Amino acid sequence: MNTKATIRRYTPFLLTLIIIVVDQITKAWVVSVIPQGTVHVSYLNDFLWIVHVRNSAIGFSLGADLPETLKRILFIALPLILLVAMMVMVLRSKELTQYQRWLVAGIIGGGLGNILDRMFRPEWVVDFISVRIYGLFGMERWPTFNVADSSLVVTGILLMLSLIFMKQHLPGSEKKEIPHE
């Protein structure tokens, strides 16, 4: 592989790094400025809150009541293995477009941001963005989230859409016409 191709293959991981850095900086700010369990500021007539809550499970607090050892396996070890597998896939795959590589890198960044919290923060993941959804799905507010969560959701949805709707233009994937006899 030439140098240009190598650089192109590794460049999306800049997004991974940016997401991790922004996620950890915002969480450190929240921990240092906002007392846990309080609303720091409210915007747009209570539509958006900046708060400080902790989540000892995964999205929507799923698994909060599991034993600590099982949580470490299900919420740290297993996701870490999956993220490493995704990194390998991005580096080896010839089928992903460059856009899709960037999206997978965004998923990896979001996943690693929350895994770092689970590994190094005593009360696990720091969440701080609370959005009012006015009774949608029977909830007044969407479950509180963070930069890593946002990255996972946005890049995950975009990756799914790109896999469904984007036509891949890969060498050898063109339709070949059968000669008429």
pLDDT at 72: 85
Q: Alpha-carbon torsion 157, 161, 163, 164, what sign?
A: positive
Is-catalytic flag, 127? yes
Answer yes or no: 23 catalytic: no
Sign of the torsion formed by the C-alpha atoms of 52, 54, 58 and 63: negative
How high is the pLDDT of residue 1?
A: 64
Residue 170: predicted pLDDT: 46
Is the predicted pLDDT of residue 27 greater than 50, yes or no?
A: yes
* Predicted local confidence at residue 179, as pLDDT: 59
Angle at 60 between CA 53 and CA 118, to 5 degrees: 60
Q: Is the pLDDT of residue 6 over 70?
A: yes
- pLDDT value at position 64? 81
- Which residue, among 78, 102, 76, has the nearest Cα to 90 in the 3D structure? 102
Domains of the chain, by residue range, sit at: 12-165
Rounded distance between C-alpha atoms, residue 89 and residue 38, angstroms? 41
For residue range 44-91, what is the model confidence (pLDDT) as tens digits? Answer: 999 999 999 999 888 777 788 888 888 888 989 999 999 999 999 999
Tell me which amino acid residue 32 is.
Answer: S
- Write down the pLDDT at residue 11: 95
Q: Please give the full DSSP string across the chain, using - where no structure is assigned.
A: --HHHHHHHHTTHHHHHHHHHHHHHHHHHHHHHS-TT-EEEEETTTTEEEEEEEESSBGGGBTTTS-HHHHHIIIIIHHHHHHHHHHHHHHH-SSS-HHHHHHHHHHHHHHHHHHHHHHH-TT-EEEEEEEB-TTGGG-SBPPPB-HHHHHHHHHHHHHHHHHHHPPP--TT-S--PPPP-
Residue 168: HSE in the Cβ half-sphere, 13 Å Cα cutoff: 14
What pLDDT, on the 0 to 100 scale, is given for residue 181? 53
**Segment among 5-9, 26-30, 110-114, 159-163 with least mean pLDDT:** 5-9
